[in-house]
Amino acid sequence: MKKITPKTLLAALCCLSMAAFGTAVAQVPSDVTSAILPEMTLSVGEQIVLDAQDVASFSESTRGVIEVKVPKDGRRMVVNAQSPGKMTLLLIMRTGETRNIEITVFAKDPQVIIEELTDLLSEQSGLRLKRMGARVFIDGYAESESELWRVQRIAELYPGQVLCLATVGRSVRPRTNIRLDLTFVEFHQSAQDGGGIRWPGQLGATGAMEMNMDLLSGRSTASYRIVDQAFPVIEAAAAHGKVKILKRASLFTTSGNRADYNSGGEVNVPIAGSQAAELRTVSYGCRLSVLPLLDGANGLVDLEVEAEVSELKETGQSVPGRAISRVSTLVHLGLGQSIVLSGLDSHVESRSKNGLPFMSRVPVLGLLFGTHHRRSEQVEGIIAITPVVVDHVEGESRRRIDEALERFRKTRM
């Protein structure tokens, strides 16, 4: 019987371990072999098997990130992710061709991350989690800017592995109907006055002659009249007025969808071109755009409001101009509360003088040589917006209401 030395025992153990490793790899079915891709993402502890039949040798740019093992048959390559990091695996093919594989190893298992994110974002039903390799994407819609900021902070806890693609634009309940009650109030105040002495445009008079003849008697009559008035006329007039205009309207939309309201008109102005005339459209009136975002749990709503009021004005050209007032704001209020927009005001004042040249411009005494007119108009506008939730009735509630109405009808009969 031969004596077994320590060296012989160590060599036997190494052969057994290599044979066991080769057997384990050989037992991996062919359908789990991954294709050689230019970029791969793994998590620590994850293993993949690559097809290595045409690979002659390989090289790692950074050691310690992954561990590569090749069985005796050389047909496959086992890649084991060991520590977080990024490296490049260079494969030298038997044909002399080279291939680079960018491998990124993350610290945590994506499935564990998805479970943690599901627990942290359980109140946000508008968000979705998607896994692509070792990365996790947060997609969908957040309720508000504050909720989106919270989701982004959670994603930063998993640097490089969790990416936030969520945006603000829909509510937790995207099908919740919201009625927007609009109230428009306009106050018009105008004043007009004038006074002075109105002189004729020219001095002198022209005559008008008339002649009539009676055919039966043969007699004729003639007359000559002076028709122009050479004397000045005293003029004094004043007018004042106030007008209040009240309009009400209702808009229906869903949370997260914009509602628009337009009231006004359009003026088509012909514009002469080099070859043919064309019509240019100039719109005016009131335009209102509201974007509601509902927080159903707290009974609050965010309103993004843009209002515009425009009116036509003369510019001395063929196309009229527009005087525009705009208001843009974002408010946070409870259901049933109202927001009032003001600042849609305009003030127009004009003065005119007619009379004798130079003399009508003299202060105070100019009233004796001409007429002075002054006109002012002031418009104040207010818009009130009240959001109201119009929710559907659940099936059970509808059934109870129908039963109560049926009992009420029977008692009346």
> Average pLDDT per run of 10 along the chain, which is 413 residues long?
49 47 39 60 83 83 85 83 85 85 82 87 82 84 84 87 82 67 78 65 58 70 57 59 73 85 79 68 82 80 85 70 80 83 68 68 67 74 83 67 79 68
Three-state secondary structure call for residue 8: helix
Go through the domains of the chain in sequence order and give each one's CATH number.
Answer: 34-106 (2.60.40.1080), 110-168 (3.30.1340.30), 178-200+234-395 (no CATH)
What's the CA gap between 120 and 131, in Å, rounded? Answer: 17
**Phi, psi of 123, rounded to the nearest 5 degrees:** -80, -10
**Structure confidence by residue, pLDDT tens digits, 136-160:** 899 888 878 888 888 899 988 888 7
Tell me the pTM.
0.40
Give the CA-trace dihedral at 150, 152, 158, 164, to 10 degrees: 140
Instruction: Identify each DSSP E strand in 125-176 by its residue range.
Output: 127-132, 135-142, 162-164, 167-168
Asked if residues 326 and 336 have their Cβ atoms less than 8 Å apart, the reply is no
Q: Can you read off the two tokens belonging to residue 214?
A: 């009676």
Sign of the alpha-carbon dihedral angle for 406, 410, 412, 413: positive
pLDDT in tens, 356-410: 666 666 676 666 667 767 777 777 777 888 888 877 666 666 777 778 888 877 7
Question: One-letter amino acid identity for 3?
Answer: K
Q: Which is nearest to 150 in space by CA: 113, 111, 120?
A: 120
Coil, helix or strand at residue 53: coil
